[in-house]
Amino acid sequence: MVLNGVVMVLMFCGLVFFTGGGIGILRFPDFYTRLHPAGKLDTLGSLLMMTSVAIFNLHEITLSNALTSLKIMLIVVFVFISSPTATHAIMDAGVRAGLRPWEKGMPRG
C-alpha cells in the first residue's frame, strides 16, 4: 500500500514536470528559451516516472524483477547523459545558423 502511494506520488510529480515542459515549449518566446523547458523538464520528468515504474516493478522481489528495475534505471542514466548533449547540439545548430536571441521588448518569435 505504501509502495503504491510512493509510486503514485512520483508519477504525479513526473507528469507535472512533463506538463510544464510541454506548455513551456509552446509559450516561451524564442528558440533559445524554448530549449530550457525541453531540455530540463523532460529529463527530470522521465527520471521521476522511470523511478516510479522501477519501484512498482519491485512489488514482489525476485532476481529477474530486480534486474528489470536496474535496466529501467539504466535507461535513466542513458537519458541523463544523452539529453543535455542533444540539447547542446540543437542549441549549437541554432547559434551557427545565426538565430538572434530574444531580448526584452521584442515580439514573440
Partner 1 sequence: MKRLALLIVILSGGLLLYATKDFPSWGDPNSPASTHVSPRYLEKSLEETAVPNVVTAVLADYRGYDTMFETTVIFCAGVACFMLLRKFEPEERDLYYRHIPTGLTLHIKGEKQIPSTSKEFEKIDAIWTPYDFIINTVSRFLVPFIQLFALYVIAHGHHSPGGGFQGGVILGASIIVLAVAFNLRTAVRRFGEKIDGIMSALGVFIYAGVGAFCAILGAEFLNYRALAKILPVGKVMARSHGILAVEIGVGIAVMAVMICIYNNVASEGKFDEGL
Partner 2 sequence: MHSLFLYVGLYLCFLMVLSLYRGVAGPTVVDRLIGVNAIGSKTVVLLVLIGLLYDRIDMFVDIALAYAMLNFIAVLGASRYFQKRKGLYEEPPYK
Partner 3 sequence: MIEPASRESSQVKTKWGPFVVTFLTSFGLWLILSGKFDYFHMGLGLISCALVSIFSGDLLFPGGLPEGFLAKAVGFIAYLPWLLYQIFLANLHVLYLSLHPKMLEKINPQVIRFQSRLKSDISMVTFANSITLTPGTITLSVSVDGDFKVHAIDDKSAEGLAGEMEQRVARAFRED
Residues within the interface to partner 2 (CB under 8 A):
4, 7-8, 11, 14-15, 18-19, 21-23, 25-26, 31, 34-35, 38, 42-43, 45-46, 49-50, 53, 56-57, 64, 68, 71-72, 74-75, 78-79, 82-83, 85-87, 89-90, 92-94, 96-97, 99-100, 109
**Got the DSSP string for the chain?**
-HHHHHHHHHHHHHHHHHHHHHHHHHHSSSHHHHHHIIIIIHHHHHHHHHHHHHHHHTTS--HHHHHHHHHHHHHHHHHHHHHHHHHHHHHHHHHHHTPPPP-TTPPP-
Give the one residue of 4, 89, 100, 101 binding partner 1; rule: CB under 8 A.
Answer: 89
CB of residue 21 to partner 2, shortest distance in Å: 6
Q: For residue 82, state whether it binds partner 1 (rule: CB under 8 A).
A: yes
